[in-house]
Amino acid sequence: MIIDWLPEANRDRFDQLDYIAQDNPLAAADQDEEIERQIDMPMQHPKMGRPGHVKGTREPVISRTPFIAVYRLKGS
């Protein structure tokens, strides 16, 4: 499976990380690593997270962050 970030999702993510980095660059880097680690989890567990608000999507909470990921599986 390939993860394809929507431009708005990337912008939100990096805006949040930039905000955190103003006070604590190490915390921002740690949070980015945590997001990357957890975003990879649906590759092993495709039904992870609650059913999304948009039909055909899933919404796992990215723990230890203010984010909820929204994803859709395409193809097989």
Three-state SS sequence of 6-55: CHHHHHHHHHHHHHHHHHCHHHHHHHHHHHHHHHCHHHHCCCCCEECCCC
**pLDDT tens string 46-72:** 888 999 999 989 999 998 888 889 988
pTM of the model: 0.77
Domain boundaries, the chain: 7-72
Strand 71-72 and strand 50-51: the pairing is: unpaired
How many CA atoms lie less than 13 Å away from 76 in the CB half-sphere?
0
